[in-house]
């Protein structure tokens, strides 16, 4: 949900001529920083350090600039916006940034009036990467290379070598390139990011704006960040200066180990503001290994649509803690075959507690297809367990159809005045169609709209308004504070908890 505050933008940090996807977030409040005698002594000790030169000299030769080309024609308007940015025209012609733009986009040449039919390779993206083996395997971001047909890397000494794409994984935004050369390359190892603490120093090296070998330093600002890019978000937030072109570059700890792969920045203007995100080394190491061995990543698939368990939802179903993953729709897959139903809450996986829906998605994905897992579930007010044999995650899901239900008012409409809803039986008899919603109601605040279908209330099917009111009365007898509605929107199921109205 987009909050009603000022917006900032999250962008991938590779240079690209293509339109980059953006997500919007609300601004964050400031916090009060206090000091003590102990904190002052620690700060003094840090100031007396000799810097990061020893670490940089050790790892910098393993970091490369990644150049991506394609024979597909790219629109230049996206770049033009950057070129016309304030201050850009004042740069001297020989400035590295201006040379980079001119070399890659030929903006100083007249527009071609003819449609290009040649297969000439054109530069389309610029990012970073790093060697993880002496025989030439390189880690970078998927969004850096995804549109390319030809790849090359520039080493720390300026040598340019052609590279081959070994594999990519859009779900984690990781990719592996391979350079075939007789030489032995300097490389770096993945470290243990689980030991990384908020406040620890980190060093980022990359290729921002085509300026290869750029070194910046900062601290770990936060762990486990979910920025809404996928179900597997678990980013390390750092305040080292990371800009466009840093994508795919490494973040090092003070032991010279890779603890993260830089992938995105949070910014109001497209430049660095001290909020960057890196893929944890543990995730990268696991994904990269599969990409090298198989060219793709195999993930366990449960076959369910899930959502978080809020406090209101836990109250409505009698669950003590607002934890676990609520099943909104068991798809045609392993879970439905094993007996998992919509409305079940998965609270444990192999006897380990599930914190939320994101936690379940990540842990299932880390289990190999074909393995059998034991799920602890909460159903109808009590615990149960079900064994499920995981399948392989499909490449993509089908598109959802639009709503097929009419929102026109009719004689069969019934009003649930206390909840701001007017409903009518659906044509197929499977639920109640919402024909109108009071804009000042809890239902409207929860996102219920005309055309939605209420399928169940507290996991009981409903066909008329009295089914809802009867369920509410039973919930009140059990001391529940809310009811749980299963709502279908454009063939997509979700659960909504509505507070019980007290007269």
143: annotated active-site residue: yes
Please say if the pLDDT value at position 58 is more than 60. Answer: yes
Q: Is 246 annotated as a binding residue?
A: yes
With bands split at pLDDT 50, 70 and 90, how would you rate the model's confidence at 465? Answer: confident
* DSSP state, residue 430: S
Q: What is the pLDDT of residue 25?
A: 29
- Least Cα distance to 245 among 396, 416, 123 occurs for 123
Of the two residues 332 and 10, the one the predictor is more confident about is 332
Give the active site residue among 14, 16, 169, 173: 173
455, exposed or middle or buried, with CB in 10 Å at 0-12, 13-18, 19+? buried
Please say if the pLDDT value at position 289 is more than 50. Answer: yes
36: annotated active-site residue: no
Q: What is the pLDDT of residue 503?
A: 61
How many CB atoms sit inside 10 A of residue 476's CB? 13
Least trusted range by pLDDT, from 26-35, 139-148, 271-280, 474-483: 26-35
Please say if the pLDDT value at position 30 is more than 80. Answer: no
Average pLDDT (442-455) is 89
Question: Distances from the Cα of 34 to the Cαs of 38, 42, 428, 444, in angstroms?
Answer: 11, 14, 63, 42
Of the two residues 398 and 442, the one the predictor is more confident about is 442
DSSP letters for 437-463: E-TTSHHHHTT--TT-EEEEETTEE-S
Q: What is the pLDDT of residue 98?
A: 56
Which residues make Cβ contacts (< 8 Å) with residue 31, sequence separation at least 6?
none
Which residues make Cβ contacts (< 8 Å) with residue 291, sequence separation at least 6?
166, 167, 168, 169, 174, 175, 176, 297
Give the active site residue among 14, 16, 143, 253: 143
**Do residues 6 and 269 touch, judged by C-beta distance below 8 A?**
no
Q: For 300-392, which CATH class? A: mainly beta
Q: What is the pLDDT of residue 291?
A: 96
**Do residues 234 and 226 touch, judged by C-beta distance below 8 A?**
yes
Please say if the pLDDT value at position 423 is more than 80. Answer: yes
Please say if the pLDDT value at position 399 is more than 90. Answer: no
- Percentage of the chain beyond pLDDT 70 is 74
With bands split at pLDDT 50, 70 and 90, how would you rate the model's confidence at 190? Answer: very high
Least trusted range by pLDDT, from 18-27, 91-100, 108-117, 177-186: 18-27
Q: What is the pLDDT of residue 46?
A: 52
Which residues make Cβ contacts (< 8 Å) with residue 303, sequence separation at least 6?
330, 331, 332, 333, 334, 335, 336, 391
What integer best gives the mean pLDDT of the chain?
A: 80
Average pLDDT (372-397) is 88
With bands split at pLDDT 50, 70 and 90, how would you rate the model's confidence at 268? Answer: low
Domain 1-27+49-110+118-297 matches domain 414-499 at the CATH topology level: no
Q: What is the pLDDT of residue 412?
A: 55
Q: What is the pLDDT of residue 113?
A: 52
Q: What is the pLDDT of residue 204?
A: 94
Q: What is the pLDDT of residue 124?
A: 81
User: In this predicted model, what pLDDT tens digit does every residue of 207-259 receive, in sequence order?
Assistant: 988 888 889 999 999 988 877 666 667 889 999 888 888 999 999 999 999 99
Q: What is the pLDDT of residue 78?
A: 44
Q: For 414-499, which CATH class? A: mainly beta
Q: What is the pLDDT of residue 255?
A: 93
Q: What is the pLDDT of residue 228?
A: 67
Q: What is the pLDDT of residue 14?
A: 57
User: In this predicted model, what pLDDT tens digit does every residue of 82-131 receive, in sequence order?
Assistant: 444 444 555 566 655 555 555 555 544 555 555 554 567 788 888 999 99
Q: What is the pLDDT of residue 96?
A: 56
- Percentage of the chain beyond pLDDT 90 is 39
Which residues make Cβ contacts (< 8 Å) with residue 115, sequence separation at least 6?
none
Q: Answer yes or no: CATH 2.40.10.120 is held by domain 1-27+49-110+118-297.
A: yes
Average pLDDT (341-361) is 93
Give the active site residue among 128, 221, 247, 441: 247
Helix (H) or strand (E) run with residue 123 in it: strand 122-131
Please say if the pLDDT value at position 449 is more than 50. Answer: yes
Q: Is 31 annotated as a binding residue?
A: no
Average pLDDT (255-283) is 84
Q: Is 470 annotated as a binding residue?
A: no
Q: What is the pLDDT of residue 197?
A: 95
Domain ranges of the chain: 1-27+49-110+118-297, 300-392, 414-499
Q: Is 213 annotated as a binding residue?
A: no
Q: How far is CA 349 from the centre of its chain?
A: 22
What's this model's pTM, rounded to 2 decimal places?
0.66
| Alpha helices (H) along 304-440 | 311-317, 334-338, 357-365
247: annotated active-site residue: yes
Q: What is the pLDDT of residue 278?
A: 93
Q: What is the pLDDT of residue 400?
A: 39
With bands split at pLDDT 50, 70 and 90, how would you rate the model's confidence at 401? Answer: very low
With bands split at pLDDT 50, 70 and 90, how would you rate the model's confidence at 12? Answer: low
Q: Is 324 annotated as a binding residue?
A: no
With bands split at pLDDT 50, 70 and 90, how would you rate the model's confidence at 202? Answer: very high
Q: What is the pLDDT of residue 147?
A: 86
User: In this predicted model, what pLDDT tens digit does every residue of 39-51 receive, in sequence order?
Assistant: 545 544 554 456 8
Q: What is the pLDDT of residue 148?
A: 87
Torsion of CA 318, 319, 320, 322, to 10 degrees: -130
Structure tokens, 389:
């044999």
């Amino acid at each position: 949900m987009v909050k009603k505050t000022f917006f900032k933008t999250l962008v991938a940090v590779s240079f690209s001529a293509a339109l980059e996807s953006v997500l919007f977030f609300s601004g964050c409040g400031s916090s009060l920083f206090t000091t003590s005698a102990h904190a002052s002594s620690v700060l003094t000790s840090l100031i007396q350090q000799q810097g990061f030169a020893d670490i940089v000299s050790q790892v910098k030769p393993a970091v490369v600039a990644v150049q991506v080309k394609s024979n597909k024609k790219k629109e230049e308007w996206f770049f033009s916006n950057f070129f016309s940015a304030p201050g850009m025209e004042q740069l001297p012609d020989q400035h590295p940034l201006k040379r980079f733009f001119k070399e890659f986009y030929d903006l100083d040449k007249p527009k071609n009036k003819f449609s290009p039919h040649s297969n000439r390779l054109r530069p389309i993206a610029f990012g970073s990467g790093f060697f993880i083996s002496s025989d030439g395997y390189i880690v970078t971001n998927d969004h850096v290379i995804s549109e390319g047909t030809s790849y090359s890397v520039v080493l720390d000494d300026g040598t340019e070598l052609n590279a081959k794409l070994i594999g990519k994984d859009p779900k984690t935004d990781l990719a592996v390139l391979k350079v075939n050369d007789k030489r032995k390359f300097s490389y770096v190892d993945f470290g243990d990011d689980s030991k990384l603490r908020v406040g620890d120093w980190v060093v980022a090296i990359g290729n921002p704006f085509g300026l290869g070998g750029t070194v910046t330093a900062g601290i770990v600002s936060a762990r486990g960040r979910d920025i809404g890019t996928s179900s597997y978000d678990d980013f390390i937030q750092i305040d080292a200066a990371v800009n466009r072109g840093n994508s795919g570059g490494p973040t090092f700890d003070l032991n010279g180990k890779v603890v993260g792969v830089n992938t995105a920045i949070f910014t109001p203007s497209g430049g660095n503001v001290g909020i960057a995100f890196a893929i944890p080394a543990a995730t990268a190491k696991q994904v990269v290994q599969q990409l090298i061995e198989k060219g793709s990543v195999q993930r366990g698939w449960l076959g369910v649509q899930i959502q978080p368990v809020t406090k209101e939802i836990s109250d409505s179903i009698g669950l003590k803690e607002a934890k676990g993953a609520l099943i909104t729709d068991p798809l045609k897959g392993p879970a439905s075959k094993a007996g998992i139903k919509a409305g079940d809450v998965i609270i444990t996986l192999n006897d380990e507690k599930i914190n939320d829906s994101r936690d379940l998605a990540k842990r299932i994905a880390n289990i190999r297809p074909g393995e059998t897992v034991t799920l602890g579930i909460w159903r109808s007010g009590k615990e149960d367990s079900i064994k499920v044999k995981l399948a392989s995650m499909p490449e993509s899901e089908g598109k959802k159809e639009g709503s097929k239900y009419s929102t026109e008012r009719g004689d069969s409409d019934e009003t649930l005045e206390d909840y701001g809803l007017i409903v009518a039986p659906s044509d197929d008899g499977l639920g109640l169609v919402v024909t109108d919603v009071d804009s000042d109601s809890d239902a409207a605040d929860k996102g219920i709209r005309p055309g939605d279908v209420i399928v169940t209330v507290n996991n009981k099917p409903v066909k008329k308004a009295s089914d809802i009111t009867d369920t509410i009365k039973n919930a009140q007898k059990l001391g529940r504070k809310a009811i749980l509605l299963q709502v279908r929107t454009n063939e997509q199921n979700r659960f909504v908890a509505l507070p019980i109205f007290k007269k």
